[in-house]
Chains A and B, each alone.
Chain A
Amino acid sequence: MALARRGGIGRYYNVNGWLFVAPALGLIALFMVYPILWSLWMSFQSGRGMMLKFAGFANIVRLWNDPVFIKALTNTLTYFVVQVPIMILLALILASLLNNPKLVGRGFFRTAIFLPCVTSLVAYSVLFKGMFAHDGIVNATLEAIGIIGEPIPWLTHPFWAKVLVILAITWRWTGYNMIFYLAAMQNIDKSIYEVARIDGVPAWARFTHITVPLLKPVILFTTVISTIGTIQLFDEVYNLTEGKGGPSNATLTLSLYIYNLTFRFMPNFGYAATVSYVIVVLVALLACVQFFAARERDR
């Protein structure tokens, strides 16, 4: 009886308990809650540098009339729509290939494909920049084997620059997702596959009807993580384009735009805060949609 009471409402009045969690709560309040609330307050202010003034909803109105913001939003969503499905599918296929116990050099391939995501963001961006330069190794190779006649303007043409960014993030993050799938695949009971094989189910159908449905929670998890990562994309674009999001703003992302608003242009911290809240809303919405979609299929 006494135990039950302490487990109920009485627990909230236990001073010792509060003392134990107080340091952690204090730090969370100082380093998480305060900046979030302060940036929300900032998003209602506008002005140059440190000369901020309350501006009401002016920043939100400005979003709609800002062609650069619209461009950054479109680019970010393009990366998301094109890159995330490619990467997830690629990671699934690679994982199921590397899950085959008969494959020689499995460990080597797994390591090789996972390795990109432990390399430094800056180092690999700089490397990509060199490889995809006008007279870089990629153009030289493609020309040598006769695929292209003229060098591809990877970094100077709006379309190809976007392709390059997608290539770069796919290269880096596919292995990361693959590891999740590999881990999940090891947990699928082998007898299910055995039964399917005895019943004459072909390999492709085994993949789509057994592996993928059983991996659904993991696929949902990786999709949400990849969504967040892509919506916040910054480093690759910054390093590939010298911080400009060029050519022609074709690779500009929301995060890079926030950076430019804060550190490259006339600093406007208020408007930059508003744009960052767009990212918050976007990520929350997309994550909700994905959870909703996954739940629907469960029924």
Chain B
Amino acid sequence: MNVTTYLPRFASMALAGASLLAVTAAEAKEITVWCWDPNFNVAIMKEAGARYTKTHPDVTFNIVDFAKADVEQKLQTGLSSGTADALPDIVLIEDYGAQKYLQSFPGAFAPLSGTVDYSGFAPYKVELMTLEGQVYGMPFDSGVTGLYYRKDYLEQAGFKPEDMQGITWDRFIEIGKQVEAKTGKKMMGLDPTDAGLVRIIMQSAGQWYFDKDGKPNITGNAALKASLETINKIMAANIYKPAAGWSDWVGTFTSGDVASVITGVWITGTVKAQPDQSGKWGVAPIPALSIDGATHASNLGGSSWYVLESSAEKAEAIDFLNEVYAKDVDFYQTILQDRGAVGSLLAARGGAAYGEADAFFGGEKVWQNFSDWLAKVPSVNYGVFTNEADTAVTAQLPALTQGTPVDEVLKAIDAEVSAQIQ
């Protein structure tokens, strides 16, 4: 072998390779994303990133998975400190908190109006991220709620799927008692430090902690009162397994210890993460209160993507969100089937996946159902103090279960909320 002939060729190849690397290194952009829930937001963002990288090979994604509380607290810390280095390019914000961030950190988020065509999204979602005529953020998922139940446990207790349709909360508690008597399983998991269920029930009857003008709406709030009474009945009937914190609560149903879960549609990915439970789950509309304005539809959570104004990759981040989340209807079909993500892009509803049966839920057309319920969710004003009101509610739950009259509990909640929102 003649080394001298090969050597220059090898050297030039190496040189070419090195310069190629240098060029791509200079052009490559990495977009950092903060979000929570590995079975849902994280997985969906990875899918979205993969789609964008296919057409834009120079852009890569670094998707960081935190707990939701950690994302919120890290974001708030970073924004308050004023050092942008510690912040991501794109961050996921739950709808309850959107106005809080927009109002208290003006200039921190990049306005997307002008780039994104917001007419294609559910209007309530766009309204949540509008401040002084500017729209921030990319609308993402809806938190339309459903009652997920274990068909096998309910069958053992003598109930058919028809028995779960259109029930009231009193009936739900009745069923829960029988399920426990026949199967020894509790009906649901309940974390007394989380007011999520209170929020679901309250919104299903068209009310919120705050009225349309953002003023506290506690003592005269019939829906809040009825929802506290319902929680009290559930506690008194002892049809729940207590959970301390989110992961503990998730454990109540992934372990098969409880017969039902009432929460937002985004839990589907977590429910489906247990392949051995395939075919055992069904989905029904949530139970309704027996008061005026009561419906079987509600919302819990739901979130949207926001681009940081300080981001070095701001242009790429906005373009990425616009390309995938505002235009790619096919993307929404994939994340619906894989993760149960009901997006707020209206055009996506016409896609094939919404009409398909899901084998995990025994061949039910669950997506069609969620889509129908979504249209019926009563719209409310979340205001900017949901965290404060939530804390006040959870603070009073033990008093309620120890027999304090519900009107007094409402007064105590009102006093705490009024003191907190200055």
Which residue of A62, A68, A71, A248 is within 8 Å of B398 (Cβ)? A248
Is the Cβ of A266 less than 8 Å from the Cβ of B244? no
List residues of chain B with CB within 8 A of the CB of A158. 398
Interface size on A, residues (CB 8 A): 38
Complex Cα–Cα for A153 and B242 (A): 9
Closest beta carbon of chain B to A49's beta carbon, Å: 2
Q: Mark A256-275, 1 if CB is under 8 A from B, else 0.
A: 00001011111111010000
Tell yes or no: B72 within 8 A of A by CB: yes
Is the Cβ of A48 less than 8 Å from the Cβ of B103? yes
Is the Cβ of B394 less than 8 Å from the Cβ of A68? no
**Chain A: CB-nearest residue to B193:** A246
**Chain A: CB-nearest residue to B75:** A263
Is the Cβ of B419 less than 8 Å from the Cβ of A66? yes
A-B contact pairs, 30 of them (CB 8 A): A46-B422, A48-B104, A49-B103, A62-B419, A65-B419, A68-B395, A68-B419, A68-B420, A71-B395, A129-B244, A134-B243, A134-B248, A156-B193, A241-B193, A243-B69, A243-B73, A247-B397, A248-B398, A248-B399, A250-B398, A263-B76, A264-B69, A264-B73, A264-B387, A265-B385, A265-B391, A266-B100, A266-B385, A266-B387, A271-B422
Q: Mark B409-422, 1 if CB is under 8 A from A, else 0.
A: 00010011001111
List residues of chain A with CB within 8 A of the CB of B416. 67-68
Complex Cα–Cα for A48 and B415 (A): 20
**Chain B: CB-nearest residue to A67:** B416
Tell yes or no: B330 within 8 A of A by CB: no
Interface of B, helix, strand, loop or mixed by DSSP: helix
Is the Cβ of A244 less than 8 Å from the Cβ of B193? yes
Closest beta carbon of chain B to A146's beta carbon, Å: 22
List residues of chain A with CB within 8 A of the CB of B388. 265-266
Tell yes or no: A3 within 8 A of B by CB: no
**Which residues in window 28-75 of A have CB below 8 A to B?**
46, 48-51, 62, 65-68, 71
Complex Cα–Cα for A128 and B72 (A): 25
Closest beta carbon of chain B to A220's beta carbon, Å: 37
Tell yes or no: B60 within 8 A of A by CB: no
Interface size on B, residues (CB 8 A): 39
Given contacts A248-B394, A266-B104, A266-B421, 15 further A-B contacts (CB under 8 A): A46-B422, A48-B103, A51-B104, A51-B106, A66-B419, A67-B415, A68-B420, A156-B192, A156-B193, A244-B391, A248-B395, A248-B397, A264-B73, A267-B104, A269-B80
Is the Cβ of A264 less than 8 Å from the Cβ of B72? yes
Interface of A toward B, CB cutoff 8 Å = 46, 48-51, 62, 65-68, 71, 129, 133-134, 153, 155-158, 241-244, 246-250, 260, 262-269, 271
Interface of B toward A, CB cutoff 8 Å = 69, 72-73, 76-77, 79-80, 100, 103-106, 192-193, 241-246, 248, 384-385, 387-388, 391, 394-399, 412, 415-416, 419-422
List residues of chain B with CB within 8 A of the CB of A262. 76, 80
**Chain B: CB-nearest residue to A244:** B193
Is the Cβ of A133 less than 8 Å from the Cβ of B385? no
Complex Cα–Cα for A262 and B399 (A): 27
Complex Cα–Cα for A299 and B202 (A): 65
Is the Cβ of B248 less than 8 Å from the Cβ of A49? no
Complex Cα–Cα for A264 and B395 (A): 16
**Chain A: CB-nearest residue to B72:** A264
Highest count of chain A CB atoms <10 Å: which of B79, B104, B395, B415: B395
